[in-house]
Amino acid sequence: MRNGLRVQLRRPSTMGQAIEKPKNTRGTLNKLLRHFVQSKGLLLGLMAAVFLETLTSLISPSLQGQVIDSIKDRSWQWFQILLICLLISFSLNVLFTLSQGILAARLSQNIVGRMRCDLFEKLNHLPIPYLDRHSNGDLMSRMTNDIENISSTISQSLGSLISGGLTVLGTIAIMFWYCWQLTLITLITVILTAIITQWMSKKMRSAYRNRADALGALNGHAEEMITNYRSVAAYNCQERTREEFNTLSDQLTKEGIRAEILGGSMGPIMNGISNLGFVIVAAFGGYFALKGLITIGVISAFIIYAKQFSRPLNELAQLYGSVQTAMAGAERVFALIDQPDEDKNGTEILESMKGEISFRHVNFSYESGKPVLSDFNLEVKAGQKIALVGATGSGKTTIVNLLMRFYPIDSGGIYIDGKNIMNLNRDWLRHNTAIVLQDTVLFSDTIAANIKYANPNARDEEMEQAAVMSNCAPFIRRLKRGYQTVLKQAGASLSHGQRQLLNIARAILANPKILILDEATSSVDSRTEQSIQDALVKLMKNRTSLIIAHRLSTIQDADIIVVMDQGHIVETGNHSELLKKQGAYYTLYMAQFAGEQT
Amino acid sequence: MLQYLKKYRLYCLLAPLFMLGEIAMDMWQPAMMAIIVDKGVLGGNIDLIWEMGIWMLLLVIFGGTCGILCGVFASIAAQNFGNDVRKDLFSRIMNFSFQQTDQFTTGSLITRITNDVSRVEQMVMMSVRSVVRCTVMFFGGIYMLYLQSPRFALVAACGLPVIAAFVIFFLRKVSPLFTIIQQKLDQINCIVQENIAGARVVKAYVKEAQALALFSKANDQLCIVNLRAQTALAFLNPCVNIVLNICTVVVLYIGGITIQTDGNITPGQVMASITYLSMILMRIIFMANIFQTFTRSSASWKRIREVLETKPAQKSGTYVSEKGHQGEIEFRNVSFSYPDAPDNPVLKNVSFQIEPGQTVAVIGSTGSGKSSLVHLIPRFYDTTGGEVLVDGINVRDYPMEVLRDKIGIVQQKSELFSRSIEENITWGTPNADPEEIRRAARLAQAEDFIQNTPNGYQTHVTESGHSLSGGQKQRISIARAMLKRPEILILDDAASALDLKTEAALQASFNRELEGTTKLIVAQRVASVKNADKILVLDDGQLSARGTHEELLKTSPVYGEICRSQIKQEVNAS
Q: Report the CATH number that the domain containing residue A588 is assigned in CATH.
A: 3.40.50.300
Residue numbers of A between 224 and 243 with CB closer than 8 Å to B: 224-238, 240-242
Give residue A13's pLDDT: 37
Query: What ranges in A291-381 are assigned the alpha helix state H?
Result: 296-337
Q: Report the CATH number that the domain containing residue A94 is assigned in CATH.
A: 1.20.1560.10
Instruction: Label residue A598 by pLDDT band (50, 70, 90).
Output: very low
Q: In the A/B pair of chains, how many CB contacts fall below 8 A?
A: 476
Give residue A37's pLDDT: 84
A417 & A478 share domain: no
A474 & A425 share domain: no
A382 touches chain B (CB under 8 A): no
A516 & A427 share domain: yes
Chain B hits for A249, Cβ within 8 Å: 83, 86-87, 90
Distance, in angstroms, between B193 CA and closest chain A CA?
A: 7
Instruction: Label residue A4 by pLDDT band (50, 70, 90).
Output: very low
Q: Determine the Cα angle at A386 with ends A380 and A390, to 5°.
A: 120
Taking only the tens place, the pLDDT of each residue in A407-435 is 888 989 999 998 898 899 988 888 888 88
A453 & A590 share domain: no
At B363 the three-state DSSP class reads strand
A222 touches chain B (CB under 8 A): yes
Answer yes or no: do B49 and A7 touch at CB < 8 A: no
Domain boundaries, given as residue ranges, for chain B: 1-149+287-310, 151-264, 352-573
At A501 the three-state DSSP class reads helix
Angle between helices A180-227 and A296-337 (to 10 degrees): 40
Answer yes or no: do A495 and B46 touch at CB < 8 A: no
- Residue range B352-573 forms a domain whose CATH class is alpha beta
Answer yes or no: do B267 and A104 touch at CB < 8 A: no
Answer yes or no: do A279 and B430 touch at CB < 8 A: no
A492 & A526 share domain: no
Residue A156 has pLDDT above 80, yes or no: no
Answer yes or no: do B267 and A433 touch at CB < 8 A: no
Residue A403 has pLDDT above 60, yes or no: yes
Distance, in angstroms, between B352 CA and closest chain A CA?
A: 23
Q: Strands A560-565 and A385-389, how do they pair? A: parallel
Q: Strands B329-336 and B385-390, how do they pair? A: antiparallel
A532 & A407 share domain: yes
Instruction: Label residue A9 by pLDDT band (50, 70, 90).
Output: very low
Question: Distance between CA atoms of A296 and B286, rounded to whole angstroms?
Answer: 32
Chain A hits for B240, Cβ within 8 Å: 5
Instruction: Label residue A2 by pLDDT band (50, 70, 90).
Output: very low
Question: Distance between CA atoms of B498 and B471, rounded to whole angstroms?
Answer: 5
For residue B60, give the nearest of A113, A275, A392 by CB distance. A275
Distance, in angstroms, between A360 CA and closest chain B CA?
A: 23
Q: Does the residue A281 lie in any domain?
A: no
Distance, in angstroms, between A342 CA and closest chain B CA?
A: 10
Q: Does the residue A535 lie in any domain?
A: yes
Give residue A17's pLDDT: 45
Answer yes or no: do B37 and A406 touch at CB < 8 A: no
Pick from A455, A472, A502: which residue ends a domain? A502
**Residue A587 lies in domain:** 357-432+512-597
Comparison of pLDDT for A63 and A197, the residue scoring more: A63
Largest CA distance in chain B: 121
A361 & A335 share domain: no
A490 & A584 share domain: no
Q: Does the residue A496 lie in any domain?
A: yes
A519 & A497 share domain: no
Question: Distance between CA atoms of B435 and B352, rounded to whole angstroms?
Answer: 37
Angle between helices A76-125 and B208-261 (to 10 degrees): 170
Angle between helices A76-125 and B150-197 (to 10 degrees): 10
Answer yes or no: do B53 and A284 touch at CB < 8 A: yes
For residue A553, give the nearest of B109, B504, B568 by CB distance. B568
Contacts (Cβ under 8 Å, ≥6 apart) of A401? A128, A407
Question: CATH homologous superfamily of domain B1-149+287-310?
Answer: ABC transporter type 1, transmembrane domain (1.20.1560.10)
Question: Distance between CA atoms of A136 and A138, rounded to whole angstroms?
Answer: 5
Whether A476 and A449 have beta carbons less than 8 Å apart is answered as no
A520 & A472 share domain: no
Mutation site, B23, B27, B94, interface A, largest A CB count within 10 A: B94
Query: Residue B310 — φ and ψ, nearest 5°?
Result: -80, 125
A478 & A589 share domain: no
Sequence letter at residue B442: R
Question: Distance between CA atoms of B303 and A261, rounded to whole angstroms?
Answer: 28
Closest CA to B22 of B78, B75, B61: B61
Chain B hits for A392, Cβ within 8 Å: 469, 471, 499
Q: Does the residue A278 lie in any domain?
A: no
Q: Which residues of chain B have pLDDT under 70?
A: 263, 322-325, 366-367, 463-467, 565-574
Residue A392 has pLDDT above 70, yes or no: no
Query: What does the pLDDT average to over A12-40?
Result: 69
Please tell me what DSSP assigns to residue A236: T
Q: Strands B347-354 and B329-336, how do they pair? A: antiparallel
Angle between helices A496-510 and A526-540 (to 10 degrees): 0
A137 touches chain B (CB under 8 A): no
Pick from A307, A342, A377: which residue ends a domain? A342
Answer yes or no: do A98 and B235 touch at CB < 8 A: yes
Q: Does the residue A189 lie in any domain?
A: no
Answer yes or no: do B70 and A102 touch at CB < 8 A: no
- Model's pTM, two decimal places? 0.72
Chain B hits for A204, Cβ within 8 Å: none
Instruction: Label residue A139 by pLDDT band (50, 70, 90).
Output: confident
Give residue B476's pLDDT: 92
Distance, in angstroms, between A318 CA and closest chain B CA?
A: 19
Question: Distance between CA atoms of A450 and A84, rounded to whole angstroms?
Answer: 67
Chain A hits for B282, Cβ within 8 Å: 4-5
Mutation site, A64, A210, A290, A404, interface B, largest B CB count within 10 A: A290
Instruction: Label residue A144 by pLDDT band (50, 70, 90).
Output: confident
How many domains does chain A fold into? 3
Chain B hits for A1, Cβ within 8 Å: 244-245, 248, 274-275, 277-278
Answer yes or no: do B499 and A391 touch at CB < 8 A: yes
Q: Does the residue A93 lie in any domain?
A: yes
Question: Distance between CA atoms of B298 and B127, rounded to whole angstroms?
Answer: 12
Question: Distance between CA atoms of B314 and B379, rounded to whole angstroms?
Answer: 9
Answer yes or no: do A264 and B75 touch at CB < 8 A: yes
Instruction: Label residue A332 by pLDDT band (50, 70, 90).
Output: confident
Taking only the tens place, the pLDDT of each residue in A339-360 is 888 888 888 888 888 888 999 9
Give residue A3's pLDDT: 33
Pick from A289, A314, A342: which residue ends a domain? A342
